């Protein structure tokens, strides 16, 4: 079995060694431009499009992250990048759920306890106790209720928040109000005070965080975007912040990463930024899942994390 690997910044040697320990029968190699030798499986992240093009012998392409929008975007730009009929698989959880729970909970508590405002007060050397928010009118809405959104929802329920989620299909998550489909989006937004985005980036969700959506939230709402920068219409957020419809935003993802200089977000007093670290790929857990899935395919069993290419996630 031949396995090719490409990642722009992971430690290649760690991955080749780690995968060889898990699959001693496999021949592993780091793919380099010009390498068109046979391969059964490819492990990729932001790979050059020629890596996979025309490789009809592949039995699986493993994306080394949760989101597959990068690979699907390449396919749109260079049709044939993903050889037809080859299964595309993504990472499911592999330690990302715990990281997302930590990140989301930290943000929700920061806004709920008004630490963001006290931080601004301190910079101005002001001493002014504010009216505390009440959980009863601090409903958290989560766009996307899959592996990550569902996990975050459960964690926030544990902390006593009113939590609702929005997805394509209806969900049964204990203590969480489920809204599904375009027809229930407005009802989901009405009454939401803090919005967390954990949708995949697809043609249906791109630009979803826009002025029309923001105006449906409770005035003075908070936004936490943990999914993809392309979900957010940046100028609409800046306008909503100026008008106070959005009180503050935490952004982990951006249309262009790293965020270019100059950009209004860098110094905005009501925007908190992190450099796309909300939930990173943990190599050991990712290698366990990928190798288990390769063994499943080899054994004629169903792997986990299969992507529906038409749906886009």
Question: How many residues are present in the chain?
Answer: 313
- Residue 56 vs 76, nearer CB to ligand NAP: 76
Looking only at residues 252 through 291 of this chain, which bind ligand NAP when binding is defined by CB under 6 A? 252-253, 276, 278-279
The residue annotated as part of the active site, out of 114, 263, 268, 276, is: 276
Confirm whether 211 is a catalytic residue.
no
Q: Tell me phi and psi for residue 29, to 5 degrees.
A: -150, 150
Please state, in angstroms and as integers, the Cα–Cα distance from residue 12 to each residue in 7, 36, 44, 57, 284, following that order. Answer: 7, 19, 11, 23, 13
Told to check if 66 binds ligand GLV by CB under 6 A, we report yes
Question: Site map for ligand NAP, 120-159, x if CB under 6 A?
Answer: ------------------------xxxxxx----------
Task: State whether the Cα torsion 163-195-74-67 is positive or negative.
Answer: negative
| Residue 313 interface partner, choices ligand GLV, ligand NAP, none, CB cut-off 5-8 Å depending on type | ligand NAP
The residue annotated as part of the active site, out of 55, 228, 231, 270, is: 228
- Residue 147 vs 213, nearer CB to ligand GLV: 147
Looking only at residues 224 through 263 of this chain, which bind ligand GLV when binding is defined by CB under 6 A? none
How many whole angstroms separate alpha carbon 75 and alpha carbon 187? Answer: 35
Count CB atoms within 10 A of the CB of residue 16.
16
Q: Tell me phi and psi for residue 138, to 5 degrees.
A: -130, 55
Closest residue by Cα to residue 253 from 231, 235, 268? 231
Query: Which residues are within 8 A (CB) of 188 and not within 5 positions of it... i.e. 6 or more apart?
Result: 141, 164, 165, 166, 179
Told to check if 147 binds ligand GLV by CB under 6 A, we report no
The helix/strand/coil state of 44 is strand
Which residue has the closest beta carbon to ligand NAP? 146
Told to check if 64 binds ligand NAP by CB under 6 A, we report no
Told to check if 18 binds ligand NAP by CB under 6 A, we report no
Binding site for ligand NAP (CB under 6 A): 66-67, 96, 144-149, 166-169, 198-202, 204-205, 226-228, 252-253, 276, 278-279, 313
């Amino acid at each position: 079995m031949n396995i090719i690997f490409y990642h722009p910044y992971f430690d290649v040697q760690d991955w080749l060694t780690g995968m060889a320990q898990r699959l001693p029968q496999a021949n592993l190699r780091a793919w380099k431009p010009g390498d068109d030798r046979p391969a059964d499986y490819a492990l990729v992240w932001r790979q050059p499009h020629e890596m996979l093009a025309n490789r009809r012998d592949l039995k699986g392409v493993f994306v080394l992250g949760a989101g597959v929008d990068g690979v699907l975007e390449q396919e749109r730009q260079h049709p044939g990048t993903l050889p037809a009929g080859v299964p595309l698989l993504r990472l499911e959880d592999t330690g990302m759920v715990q990281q997302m729970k930590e990140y989301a909970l930290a943000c929700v508590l920061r806004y709920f306890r008004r630490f963001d405002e006290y931080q601004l007060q301190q910079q101005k050397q002001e001493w002014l106790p504010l009216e505390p928010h009440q959980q009863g009118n601090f409903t958290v809405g989560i766009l996307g209720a899959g592996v990550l959104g569902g996990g975050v929802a459960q964690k926030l329920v544990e902390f006593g928040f009113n939590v609702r989620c929005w997805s394509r299909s209806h969900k049964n998550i204990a203590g969480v109000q489920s809204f599904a489909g375009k027809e229930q989006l407005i009802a989901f937004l009405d009454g939401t005070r803090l919005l967390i985005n954990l949708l995949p980036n697809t043609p249906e969700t791109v630009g979803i965080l826009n002025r029309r959506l923001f105006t449906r939230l409770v005035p003075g709402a908070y936004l936490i975007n943990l999914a993809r920068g392309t979900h957010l219409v940046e100028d609409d957020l800046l306008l909503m912040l100026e008008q106070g419809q959005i009180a503050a935003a935490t952004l982990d993802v951006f249309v262009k990463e790293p965020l270019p200089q100059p950009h209004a977000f860098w110094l905005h007093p009501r925007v908190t930024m992190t450099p796309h670290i909300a939930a990173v790929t943990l190599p050991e857990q990712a290698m366990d899942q990928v190798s288990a899935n390769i063994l499943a395919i080899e054994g004629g069993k169903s792997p986990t994390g299969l992507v529906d290419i038409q749906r886009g996630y």
